[in-house]
Chains A and B, each alone.
Chain A
């Protein structure tokens, strides 16, 4: 009898605990579709490590965001779409979800209609499907700081600057070596358009995922003798590209890496072959920024750091994760100003992201001066006009070799709108207007 009594009271307590949980827990949750194994583990551990480190810093230093504690849970995706979706379905029932950050274009694509249905923001920092920049069609998707088209435009502008102006581009031959994935193929049309506009000769060459064999591609490049090679790699593809380039005699300083080919993990394994290699950044490497110092002291000092290897603090992916943390939590802070200092709904957080405007002064206040320049997201521009810079690898560290510069947004916007409007027509979606922004669902 006593056993039954015990189970009865225990289950009652459990029931109470379960039902009461969302009511008083003032917590905002980040479900993380992370990847710590597989060919892209270096990117995954750095990015998600930095993200978690920043959340830890806010929790310990400020008790979260205005007293709302930040929590997270992880599911391993290995960068695979199927696993990413499984994790999405598994984690989405958690209360108080702020936003999703899968760090995979393939997974993000598969989540497009799901997040719209569930009304939760989907953040694809520095990557993603370019036309999601158009907030009229994609209210819940945010390719923050830099979408793939802006990245391409930034790189071509830099090549022009190095060659002595945009009018010199017409004498150039540029090869784009891209990763054989949705992420890699995303920029095929924009490079074609840029080649047409500026008159340079273009060849685009695919490297099959994961990219650890590139002999054939570099033989082609050797035959074509381009003036520059744009490397749009990811993970193991990057060091292999640099070493194969060296073997086939292509100089590293004529290779321009994109925003996912710009980390220490991309150049260190290539050793000498990477010396002189240049890459675009929207978030700088280095440990000088105060917020990185603080993460080192307070989070790693307390033994709570997420990176297993402390020397990776301040590396490109780690800093990117920290900046991702800043952007996500600042969106929460902005939304809290309007909706109250409590755990917010997904749609309220969406409103926060649509007003995520951080001036260079605010970035400095946040201790991130030098890490990234600024961001200016509006309801219809979900990228937020991030600026880019270029950094060069000297064999031991990255150093910035350009100022923060702006991609050619005016050129890109019409193509983005054409593409997003086509998607809206295909899916039967109505374009949002400025009035729709403040219609916020409270569940």
Chain B
């Protein structure tokens, strides 16, 4: 310990930053893969982690489009719905396909729909684009409830998804569903992370920061925008399939309404635009935090107020917190955590520095 601490300033600073990020990711993954299946209760997995994973992935997808490429979209829930219903239909009608293949095909279907609804982005920007993506929201919901074929002519429009199976193994337990979900979310997040550090990723940022400038340095703006729509919708589509297959295990078009689109948009705004972590932090804040608050409220005050009053109070508390967070750090929770982390490590370094014998003395 002391020898490391005694190293000269410069050699400590050489440690490259990405490796710190890698260590953190590895740590989180180790906890997620080992500790959670061992210790988490069924409630934690079924009611907290499964929706958290699916919506985090959707937020990762939207962040690629909105955070990195600067295209504001209100159609996320529609692309989730496309993914969910496509996965269901591929699974139903082409039963020989293994589950991951249906998921990839579902993602591709969503990507296709995403590109179609991304076309207006070639002409429209900002709020105008947001309004045109609303069309996706309304059209998809309408089409899914209008044509019975999508839900296999189920009278009420609700589909019950089949049990999860992979290569003959049943994944129909909370832990099985969780690990399946976690693996897909990890792979896709890693893919998105790599993408943002590739030439295409830099093209996204260039388009976001100034279309004219991007064009001037030779970025193919229309292709870049459509690529962003395609990849983003792919990821969101798979998220929709996860939402349906692992979490709800039943789907109806109304579950993918405008509220859900806004929810995902708020996740990336609160979590932090153009960061992968931000999507997860935002999802945690929007999905998990209200439930913790509700439970705390019910535990402390459940005897005094009925559940309606508690629910209203909870909304007020969350609204106030959102405002507070955004005032404290407009760049979102990811930046806020960075700042807290930096301050903590500075304090820690100072404490260690003052308590351990200084090499100079």
Given A78-B311, A90-B47, residue A181 in contact with residue B155 (CB < 8 A): no
Residue among A75, A82, A186, A427 making CB contact with B255, cutoff 8 Å: A82
Contacts of A188 in B (CB 8 A): 155
With most chain A CB atoms within 10 A of its CB, the pick from B145, B162, B248, B307 is: B307
12 A–B pairs (Cβ distance < 8 Å), ordered by A = A36-B309, A37-B308, A41-B308, A74-B306, A75-B298, A82-B248, A89-B42, A90-B47, A106-B252, A129-B156, A181-B252, A426-B162
Q: Does A328 contact B (CB under 8 A)?
A: no
Which of under 10, 10 to 19, 20 to 34, or 35 or more describes the interface residues of A? 35 or more
- A 402-435 to B, binary, CB cutoff 8 A, 1 in contact else 0: 0000000000000000010001001100000000
Q: A110, B306: Cβ atoms under 8 Å? A: no
Complexed CA–CA distance, A76 and B47 (Å):
14
Interface residues of A in 119-147 (CB under 8 A from B): 129-130
Q: Which residues of B contact A78 (CB under 8 A)?
A: 311
> Is the beta-carbon distance between B248 and A81 smaller than 8 angstroms?
yes
Given A106-B252, A110-B250, check contact A182 B312 (CB 8 Å): no
Known: A37-B308, A86-B291. A109 touches B155 (CB 8 A): no
User: A384 vs B43: C-alpha distance in the bound complex, in angstroms?
Assistant: 34
The list of the 10 closest CB pairs from A to B, nearest first, reads: A36-B308, A89-B47, A182-B156, A76-B307, A86-B47, A76-B311, A185-B156, A110-B250, A37-B308, A186-B156
Chain B residues close to A by CB (< 8 Å): 42-43, 46-47, 51, 145, 155-158, 160, 162-163, 247-250, 252, 254-255, 291, 294-295, 298, 306-312
Q: How far is the CB of B287 from chain A (nearest CB, A)?
A: 9
A236 to B152, CA, bound (A): 30
Which residues on the A side are within 8 Å of B51 (C-beta)?
Answer: 82
Main SS class of interface, B: helix
With A and B bound together, what is the CA distance between A98 and B46 in angstroms? 22
Say yes or no: A209 contacts B47, CB within 8 Å: no
How many inter-chain contacts with C-beta < 8 Å in the A-B complex? 89
Provide the bound-state CA to CA distance between A112 and B309, in Å.
30
A90 vs B162: C-alpha distance when bound (angstroms): 24
User: Which A residues touch B46, using CB under 8 A?
Assistant: 85, 89
User: Does A45 count as interface, using CB distance less than 8 angstroms?
Assistant: yes
Other contacts beyond A74-B306, A106-B254: 20, CB < 8 A? A34-B307, A35-B308, A37-B311, A37-B312, A74-B307, A75-B307, A76-B307, A76-B308, A76-B310, A76-B311, A82-B51, A85-B46, A89-B47, A109-B250, A110-B249, A130-B155, A181-B252, A186-B156, A187-B155, A189-B155
A423 contacts which chain B residues (CB < 8 A)? Answer: 160
In the complex, are the beta carbons of A109 and B255 less than 8 A apart?
Answer: no
* Bitwise interface map of A from 68 to 91 toward B, beta carbon under 8 Å scored 1, else 0: 000000111010011001100110
B173 CB to closest chain A CB, in angstroms? 10
Determine if A183 is an interface residue (Cβ-Cβ < 8 Å).
Answer: yes
Interface string of A222-252 (1 = CB under 8 A from B): 0000000000000000000000000000000
Q: A185 to B155, Cβ gap below 8 A?
A: yes
Q: CB-CB < 8 A to A76: which residues of B?
A: 294, 307-308, 310-311
In Å, the complex CA distance between A181 and B160 comes to 15
Report the minimal beta-carbon distance from A296 to chain B, rounded to whole angstroms.
20
Contacts A36-B306, A76-B308, A82-B248 given; does A109 touch B156 at CB 8 Å: yes
B155: min CB distance to chain A, Å: 5
Binary interface encoding of chain A residues 138-163 relative to chain B, with 1 for a CB under 8 A from any of its CBs, else 0: 00000000000000000000000000
* B163: chain A residues within 8 A (beta carbon): 427
Q: How far is the CB of A412 from chain B (nearest CB, A)?
A: 13
A36 touches B307 (CB 8 A): yes
User: Could you tell me if B249 and A45 are in contact, using CB atoms closer than 8 angstroms?
Assistant: no
Contact A93 B43 (CB under 8 A): yes
Highest count of chain B CB atoms <10 Å: which of A75, A89, A106:
A89
Name which of A76, A93, A180 has the most chain B CB atoms within 10 A of its CB. Answer: A76
Query: Does chain B have a CB within 8 A of A361?
Result: no
Contacts of B145 in A (CB 8 A): 180, 185, 206
